[in-house]
Chain A
Amino acid sequence: MSQKQEPEKRKPKSNFSRRGFLQGVGVTSGVLTTGVLESEAEAQTSAKVAGPGEVPITLQINGKPYKTSVEPRATLLDTLRHRLDLTAAKRVCDRGTCGACTVIIDGKVMYSCTVLAIDAQGRQIQTLEGLSQNGKPHAVSRAFVANDAQQCGYCTPGFVMAAKGFLDKNPNPTYEEVKTGLGGNLCRCGTYMGVRKAVLDAAKEMKGTKNA
């Protein structure tokens, strides 16, 4: 064991980086040297470099601070699941397509597989674990059960969070709005008919229940 390098001493094998890439294409591609990208590259140059190796972070999740350490490349999803045992959010496509990892960050519905944990610091993260109040399941969770909007249940946590975020912004949606509003989540068992009804039921239930 002693001849092995310790993780924190490891150096990146490649010098390839997004910043280097942007600078590289900047020379040859007029299209990409737009103001936005240049300013991003600029900002990165002056940013504090984190890692390689694990760095300590604090995440504000469901109103409570969680301290852990992660490699800078760790996604919020993997950090929730592997480091904090918050496993409601599921890893399915792991590239921002299916919505099984949906959480709410600063009031916005997001795929936690596309957010780096280090970038989620200082933001209010809400996961499905934080939705129940005093042990009582949230109206959306209850509506999913009442309308049998789940089978294997692996997409369900993401759907519930997407529905919660959707209803926060659209408290009185039409059936058609539900069909487009929940379009960012995929289910393999085919529970969409139940989900549509569940979201409409939850909307009714949540009206007047301030805490829901």
Chain B
Amino acid sequence: MPNTPDYHWPPMDKRRVMGKRLERLDGIAKSTGAAKYNSDLKPDGMLFGALLTSPHAHAKVTSIDTSAAEKLAGVTAVRAVVKAGDELQWAGQEMAFVAATTEDIANDAIRLIRVNYEVMPHLVNEEDLSKAGNRARPSGEQATGDIDKAFQEADATSEGSYGIPVLTHCCLEPHGQTIAIKGDHAEYFPSTQNVYGIASDIGRALNIPIANVHVHMDYMGGGFGSKFPADKWGLESAELSKASGGRPVKLFLDRATELSIAGNRPSVFAKVKTAAKKDGTITAWQSETWSTGGIGGGNLNAALFPYVFTQVPNRRINHTAVSVNAGAARAWRAPSHPQVCFITCSALEDLAAKINMDPLDMFLKNINYTSRADLYKFQFAKAAELMEWKKNWHPRGDSASGPVKRGLGLALGTWGGAGHASTCKTTIHPDASVEVELATQDLGTGTRTMVAMIAAETFGLPVSAIKVKLGDNAYPNSGGSGGSTTIGGVTSSTRKSSVNALAKLFEVVAKSLDVSADDLEAVDQRIRVKGNPDKGMSFTQACQKLGVNSISEMGANEPAKAPQEGLNTGGVGGVQMADVSVDIETGIVKMNRLVAVQDCGLVVNPKTAESQVYGACIMSICGALYEERIMDEQTGRVLNPDMEFYKLAGIGDIGEIIVHMDIREENDKRGVVGLGEPCAIGGIAAIANAVANAIGVRAPRVPLTPARILAALERRTA
């Protein structure tokens, strides 16, 4: 192409599809049960897989005997993945896999495997750092300014301890796959956030060409950061299939295993000291934190302290990673941010209370310590209006009579979310049907719908005219879905491939209209001459001119070039405010309202965008009030690997949620930015602060269960 086509997004007032509140395209398939998830598949000859996991948090295998399992009728393959002498490092660690004709037989076979152990000492809880011994690994101090002087000169200082536990992803569709290995070919149907990249895990492990690994996934039931690799259960299911003559093997984890080993979010415990002037200016931040991400320790980015207010002049930050005998952490919606936000915003709210200042005023007073002062000012003003903050806020401790105390709290968040590398192919057929192909995946965020909207906007067609093909690694690589990078990547590559394809169509139409291709535009299902809308033809007529040849064009989002092109960027802000009622006799916290004001640049579809923010608010309510992985000190196992005691909020537990998407021209012109992570950050902190504001004392450890509320109140009166 001689000239670079104009890929820019149409101006806000010229968009016909983008920015509209459209229903998600796969909505009916999901709500009628027609949608087939890979956990729903049952290809011909399919076998069921099952796995045996370690009952001990730390042990040495002294023997493993699979012979009885192998003899059971209906069993087609048994694979031990540990041998005598191997050390097991967490309860739930995979030890053996079985394939059988029915799931019941597979589970029976698992029960026939005999393992003997030499049980070894374990550490599963990190909250008491003094018990961690050599499992604690300090990462060295980061210091800026003169913190000791700052504390000496401060008008006020505040000290507090805070804690946020390990959470598990609790994806409703468990991790797993259906897979068949036939010769050097694989048909692989995983539940994954990584349709394209995951093929290499299977190829490498089974020593078959990656090109022969076909991955397909139409729908997936939640990932939240935990579903990128093929995992042991994927690789071993492949081996089971291979050992069973190539029959497909389905293995999806049961709930207990899912919650024990399929990923979790690191905890953080903290001792924080802060200082401020009388006018609310924050002068010092000092934090000592520790956390665990499982056996590997780590997985927390302590450099994020003090969260968002990163330019507080005097800072001292120490962090210690603790290795425990528990399943490894994985990325969890905005890795590190919700925890660091909770610690920071809790400590700053305590500091505001110390100087009898409204935390909203204090946050605004220090807003220049953030890198998005104007954005946060606007968002706090909007949230305060929606929450009626100035009317409803009171100094710490609700003085109203009666046992039910009401309080407000706030927090803020930030995230990157620039588009990842993505390639896309758009094809225009002579019958005017349009296909868009890219190997991305729709996690329920609406990716399929967004891709169709971008193509429809570009071609001047209704969304229903676009056929989106994704969820298959036969299409061009569009990357994994993590870090809120998908929307920027896929919208940009779709825009570019569609503009490129349209340019080819314009060349054909230009000849027949005897105009320059540059003079043409695609609007309202017509290709017409700019400024002379009557001169042109329908999109269908234009495509008929292609004869028998389709037009296929590629488009790519290249992160290094994206900032210049302006289709997507990174860097967003959002604020949340919570309104809670706490019964100080029972300790029960009730959500009244949660307000979220969220920017994500150009919003492609406000309806689905709001849904993501609602969802993130609800996830935050779960984290603030209900969710916690509890490890048993004695057995070293997860005590609550189920959904009765690993608690999620229900439909009646969430109060009212008010979402305001910060759609303004100045945000829009930054291009598309990811949304999934940023809205999942501030809620826990806002709720915890609202509880402190209500009951007059900090309940330092989330989730804020009745027992913890009552314990905090007891300390206040002690």
Contacts and interface: CB of A to CB of B under 8 A. Distances in A.
Bound together = yes
Interface of A: 3-7, 10, 71, 73-74, 78, 81-82, 85, 87-95, 97-98, 100, 127-129, 131-132, 137-138, 140-142, 144-146, 148-157, 160, 178-180, 182-183, 185-196
A100 B24 CA distance: 21
21 contacts: A6-B73, A7-B73, A10-B73, A82-B102, A87-B33, A88-B32, A88-B34, A90-B173, A132-B32, A140-B31, A141-B31, A148-B27, A148-B610, A153-B221, A154-B173, A179-B652, A185-B650, A187-B172, A188-B171, A193-B618, A196-B651
A10 to B, nearest CB: 7
Nearest to A157: B33
B33 A92 contact: no
Q: Which of A138, A155, A178, A189 has the most CB of B within 10 A?
A: A189
Nearest to A182: B651
Interface string B441-473: 001111000000000000000000000000000
B71 A3 contact: yes
A189 to B, nearest CB: 5
A74 to B, nearest CB: 7
Contacts of A78: 103
B643 A93 contact: yes
Contacts, number: 186
B40 interface: yes
Given A7-B73, A85-B42, A189 B643 contact: no
B614 A191 contact: yes
Contacts of B642: 93, 95, 97
A150 B445 contact: no
Given A132-B32, A186-B643, A146 B612 contact: no
B418 to A, nearest CB: 23
Given A131-B32, A141-B31, A193 B614 contact: yes
A88 B33 CA distance: 4
B636 to A, nearest CB: 23
A160 B31 contact: yes
Contact of B24 (A10, A98, A145): A145
Contacts of A182: 651
A181 B296 CA distance: 44
Nearest to A161: B33
Interface residues of B, number: 62
B36 interface: yes
B615 interface: yes
B220 interface: yes
Given A4-B71, A97-B644, A141-B28, A153 B607 contact: no
Given A5-B73, A137-B31, A148 B611 contact: yes
Given A71-B104, A152-B444, 16 more contacts: A73-B104, A74-B104, A90-B172, A131-B33, A137-B28, A148-B24, A151-B443, A151-B446, A153-B444, A154-B173, A157-B33, A187-B172, A188-B170, A190-B616, A192-B650, A193-B657
Given A98-B643, A137-B28, A190 B651 contact: no
B643 A150 contact: no
Interface in B6-52: 23-24, 26-28, 30-37, 39-40, 42, 48
A152 B42 contact: no
A4 B172 contact: no
Contact of B222 (A5, A87, A188): A188
B173 A190 contact: no
Contacts of B610: 148
B282 interface: no
Q: Which of B23, B172, B254 has the most CB of A within 10 A?
A: B172
Contacts of A91: 39
A78 B617 CA distance: 33
A183 B650 contact: yes
Contacts of B105: 7
Interface string B205-246: 000000000000001111010000000000000000000000
B648 interface: yes
Nearest to B252: A91
B287 interface: no
Nearest to B442: A152
Q: Which of A10, A141, A155, A182 has the most CB of B within 10 A?
A: A141
A129 B31 CA distance: 10
B515 interface: no
B394 interface: no
A179 B173 CA distance: 24
B654 interface: yes
B60 interface: no
Nearest to A135: B32
Contact of A148 (B32, B608, B618): B608
